[in-house]
Amino acid sequence: MSVTPLIHPSTDAATVPAADRPVDPEWWRGAVIYQIYPRSFLDTNGDGVGDLDGVTRKLDAIADLGVDAIWISPFFKSPMEDFGYDVSDYRDVDPLFGDLDAFRRLLAEAHARGLRVLIDLVVSHTSHQHAWFQESRADRSNPKADWYVWADPTPTGNPPNNWLSLFGGSAWEWEPHRRQYYLHNFLKTQPDLNFHNPEVQDAVLDTAKFWLDLGVDGFRLDVVNFYFHDALLRDNPPARADASPLTVQRSNPYAMQDHLYDKHRPENLVFLERFRTLLDAYPGATTVGEMGIDRDVATATEAYTLADRRLHQVYSFELMTPTLSADHIRQVVRGMEAEVRTGWVSWAVSNHDFARIVSRWGLADRARDAAPLLIALLASLRGSPCLYQGEELGLTEAEIAFDDLQDPYGRAFWPEFKGRDGCRTPYPWRHDQPHGGFSQARPWLPVPPEHLAAAHDLQAADAGSALSRVRRFLHWRRTRPELIKGEFRMLETDGPVVAFERRLGAARTLCAFNLDRGPQRLPLAGLGPLTVDAASGFNAEAGEGELRLPGLGGAFCRVV
C-alpha cells in the first residue's frame, strides 16, 4: 500500500543525489564516522543553540581531522522535549537549526570535501505534536486510528501490561479522546508508531526515500530494535541475571525487566529487509542501527546485519562501560569476532547519551594521552569507528548544576543519575572568546571553564595535543588498508595490554594498546620480525622478543 506524502517545500537542489554519484558501494566498511550534536556544535545566529550553518562553517576542520563521514543528530521539526528525538515533521528542518536550504548547503559542501553525510532517523516513535498522532488520537475510526499502539484498559482501569518507559514510570499513557492507552517507550510525548500496520511501514520508507533523493548517504537508525512490539501485549518477565549493565541506569526500574516483549521482536528483521531493499536502490547508501539490548548482543548483531539483507552495521554499546577494563574489551571483541561473520559492527566508546569517556574511565587527568590511544584502539578494530564530537579534544564530563539541567531523563532521576547534559555541552572552538567561541549569546548549556584549556584552537597549534595526535593517526590509518578492511586476529594477552593483528594480503600490522598508566611489556614470541611504524604517532620500542609500551601508549608494528 502506498502512502501519499504530505506537501512540503520543493526539494529542487543544487546538490547531486547520492544515487547519481560514482561511489564505492562499500565505502562504509572501516570508515571513520564523526557524530555531530548540532545544537552544541556552533551557533551562527546568536540564539545560543548550534545550527546547520554552524556545521557547514566547520566542515574544513572536520575534514582535516581525517574522518570519512559525519552523522548529524536530529534536526527535524520538533517541540524539542527530547531535543529532536521527538519529531513532529520528518520532511522539514526545525527553525532552531535552519531550513531545508541550509541542509542542502551543508550536504553540498560536505560532499565537495569528500565527506559522506548520515542523518539520524527517529521512526520508532514521533512527537505527540506530529499530524499523524493528532489524527490518530481523535477517535477509533479515523484513517490513522491504527498508526500508533493503542490498547484498552484492564477492567479496573489500569494499563494493559507491565511495560515500563525508559524515562520512568509506565510505558502507557491514557488518552481521554479514545478512552484508551497509547504506548510510549520514552517520554509520554513520544508515542510509539505501530509497525504492525503496513501503512506505517510505507510511510517510514517514504520518509527515508525523501532524504535519499535529497542526497544523504544513509541513516543512523535510532533505537532500531524498538520498532515492533508484541501484538499480544504480554507482560515482560523479571530481568535475567546475565543482563547487560549498559542498557540503562540501575537506579531506573526499567532495568528490573527482561524486555522480551516490548522490543527486539522477530518482525523487526522482516521490516529491515524492506528497508534494505530501498537502500540498495541508492548505491553507497548505508545504515547504522542503534540497538540497545540486555543480552546476546553479538548474536543479535549478526542477525540484524545478516548477509547484506538487513542493516549494513549495528552500533555497539558494549564498550561504553562505566569503568575501564582490558578484560572486558577482549571479551567483547572476541564475542563479536566469533558471532558476526557476515555483518559489520560500528564501534563507539562515547556518544550524546553517555558520560565523556576520559571521565567515565577515570583518565581525565591524562586526557592528552588517553584520548588518542582510545580512538586509535577503536579505529583499529574490525568494524567502523564512530567518534563523538569533542572526543578528539579529550573533553571531560561537565558538571551541570540542577538549575541548568535540560535533560528530562536527568531531571527524573536526579541525583542518582544526573542525565546526559554533561556530555552535550557546547564545543569549545576558541579559548579566548566568550563561551569558547561557540556562541555570542548565553548557550543552552554552559561551557565549563576547564574546556577552554582544551579548546580546538589551542590544540590545533600544539603538535603534541590530543587533537593533533588523533589527526595524525587518522590520516596515517588511511595508508594502511589492513586496518580498514583487513582480517582480524586477537593476540592472547592478559593484564592491561590489548593486542591484535590486522592482515590484508601480504600486509600485516600488529596493534598494541597499553590501558595502564604505567609502562608495560608485551612478549612477541612467534610473531616474526617487527618494525615500529612511528608515522602512526605512537612510539613504543621493539626490543629483543618484546614490545615496550609507555603508560597509556600504543604501537603499530609492521610484521615482516
Q: Is 450 helix (H, G, I), strand (E, B) or coil?
A: helix
Residue 455 CA, chain-centre distance (Å), reads: 23
280, pLDDT greater than 70? yes
Split at pLDDT 50, 70, 90, the class of 539 is confident
CA dist 38 and 389 (Å) reads 10
Return the pLDDT at 254.
Answer: 92
What CATH class is the domain 487-559?
mainly beta
Cell numbers at residue 59, please?
566542515
**Portion of the chain with pLDDT greater than 90, in percent:** 85
Which positions ≥6 away from 96 have C-beta within 8 Å? 39, 47, 49, 51, 80
Supply the pLDDT for residue 248. 56
Question: What band does 544 get if pLDDT is binned at 50, 70 and 90?
Answer: confident
Percentage, residues of the chain above pLDDT 70 = 95
The answer to whether the beta carbons of residues 440 and 384 sit under 8 Å apart is: no
Residue type, 174: W
- Answer for the pair 460, 468: CB distance below 8 angstroms, yes or no: yes
Mean pLDDT of 33-45: 98
Give every CB contact of residue 241 below 8 A, 6+ residues apart in sequence: none
Sequence-separated (6 or more) residues with CB below 8 Å from residue 412:
167, 168
pLDDT for residue 522 is more than 70: yes
Has residue 14 got a pLDDT over 50? no
Distance CA 475, CA 468 (A): 11
Give the active site residue among 92, 120, 173, 290. 290
Confidence of residue 18 (pLDDT cuts 50, 70, 90): very low
pLDDT at 247 over 80: no
Active-site annotation holds for 222: yes
Q: What is the pLDDT of residue 250?
A: 64
Task: Find the mean pLDDT for residues 272-280.
Answer: 98
**pTM here?**
0.94
Q: In whole angstroms, what is the distance from residue 136 CA to residue 150 CA?
A: 10
- Over range 38-61, report the average pLDDT: 98
Preceding omega of 415 cis (within 30 degrees of 0): yes
Does residue 227 register a pLDDT over 70? yes
Of 327, 329, 331, which is closest to residue 339 (Cα–Cα)? 331
Nearest CA to 389 out of 418, 357, 347 is that of: 357
DSSP symbol at 325: -
Domain-by-domain residue ranges, the chain? 487-559
- What's the CA gap between 326 and 383, in Å, rounded? 19
Rounded to the nearest angstrom, the gap between the alpha carbon of residue 337 and the centroid of all alpha carbons in its chain is: 21
Instruction: Please give the residue that has the higher pLDDT: either 470 or 406.
Output: 470
| C-alpha span between 479 and 276 (Å, rounded) | 31
Which residue blocks in 404-543 are alpha helix, DSSP H? Answer: 408-413, 449-452, 456-460, 466-477, 481-485
Q: Average pLDDT of 242-259? A: 76
Q: What is the pLDDT of residue 11?
A: 34
- 544 labelled catalytic: no
pLDDT of 245 over the 80 cut: no
Of these residues, 94, 109, 222, 501, which one is catalytic?
222
How far apart CA 235 and CA 166 sit, in angstroms, is 16
Give the CA distances from residue 102 to residues 54, 98, 105, 109, in Å, rounded to whole numbers and listed in that order.
10, 6, 5, 11
* pLDDT tens digits for range 53-110: 999 999 999 999 999 999 999 999 999 999 999 999 999 999 999 999 999 999 999 9
Average pLDDT score, the chain: 93
- Find the range with the poorest average confidence among 61-75, 114-128, 220-234, 538-552: 538-552
